[in-house]
Amino acid sequence: MAEKLAASRHFFKVMIPGFQQKLKLPPGFCEKLKEEKSREAIVRSRKGTWKMKVCRNVEGGNGMMMSLEEGWGAFVCAHGLSVGDFVVFEHTGRLHFNALVFDLSACEKEFLVEFKKEDHHHQEPPQGNTKIKFMRSNNLEKMSSITLRNPADQRKLAWSVRVWVEETPRLRGRMDRGWHDFYVANKLKDGDVCVFELNPRLSRRPASISMDVKILTTLV
């Protein structure tokens, strides 16, 4: 039960044509929040905080559906969202969410922050290949294996997974031996999304890389 509740705090949305006007929340999440009557949602990301108008409509067999409309466009522009990007939302209570933005490389978008006295959220767009920069900045191209952990797993298990890195012609990495064990133990299925986050506390040694893996299942 604890794992199910932890997973239900998250959902993700892929940006498809027309996403700039509004964002529909998944039916399963709308059902979870059906008792919430607020007309305003708060969405926080690395770039700041946005207030968005919440609209409700009855859609056939899906029941009451909710969408983020007024204010969503500003979030889209601020994060440079385009078709194929996806956003992972974490529900933190009421209609409050934390958001992580990912691009077509499947890596989190980078935003360089320029702190100013009157503007704390002005940032420049990322440059270069995010996936390559992530691998090189964390020495993943030199690793033969990494350790994976699922923060939602009450058993506190860890899986050692072999990593292959090759440059053909661009730097690419893949996981093989040990990944199947992680896949089975965490009951992954087609359509699930895994968000990999470097765990600095457990990756202090030069030859040791540990990553926390948040598993997001599609709510239907």
Answer whether residue 95 shows pLDDT above 70. yes
- CATH topology for 130-216? At1g16640 B3 domain (2.40.330)
Distance CA 142, CA 162 (A): 12
What residue has token string 């889209």? 76
Which helix (DSSP H) or strand (DSSP E) does residue 75 occupy? helix 72-78
Q: What pLDDT is attached to residue 141?
A: 57
The pLDDT of 193-215, averaged and rounded, is: 78
Instruction: Give the pLDDT confidence of 99-138 residue by residue, as tens digits.
Output: 999 988 888 887 654 434 434 343 433 333 445 555 565 5
Position 20 scores a pLDDT of 92
Question: Considering the chain, what is the average pLDDT of its residues?
Answer: 78
Region 191-213 average pLDDT: 77
Spatial CB neighbours of 85, under 8 Å, sequence gap ≥ 6: 14, 15, 101, 102, 103, 104, 109
More confident residue, 184 or 115: 184
Q: 24 is written with which tokens?
A: 């529909």
Residue 94 pLDDT > 60, yes or no?
A: yes
Asked whether this chain's domains 2-124 and 130-216 adopt the same fold, the reply is: yes
Strands in 82-208 per DSSP E: 86-93, 96-102, 112-113, 123-124, 145-149, 159-167, 171-175, 193-198
| 114 or 217: which leads in pLDDT | 217
Cβ 95 vs Cβ 38: under 8 Å: yes
Q: Examine the pLDDT at 97 and tell me if it is beyond 60.
A: yes
At 162, the pLDDT band (50, 70, 90 cuts) reads confident
Sheet holding 171-175, edge to edge: 171-175, 159-167, 145-149, 210-216, 193-198
pLDDT in tens, 25-79: 998 888 888 888 899 999 999 888 999 999 998 876 667 899 999 999 999 999 9
pTM above 0.75, yes or no: no
Domain 2-124 has CATH 1.20.1050.10: no
Domain ranges in the chain?
A: 2-124, 130-216
- Residue 91's pLDDT is what? 92
Are 12 and 87 a contacting pair, CB within 8 Å? yes
3-state secondary structure (DSSP) of residue 94: coil
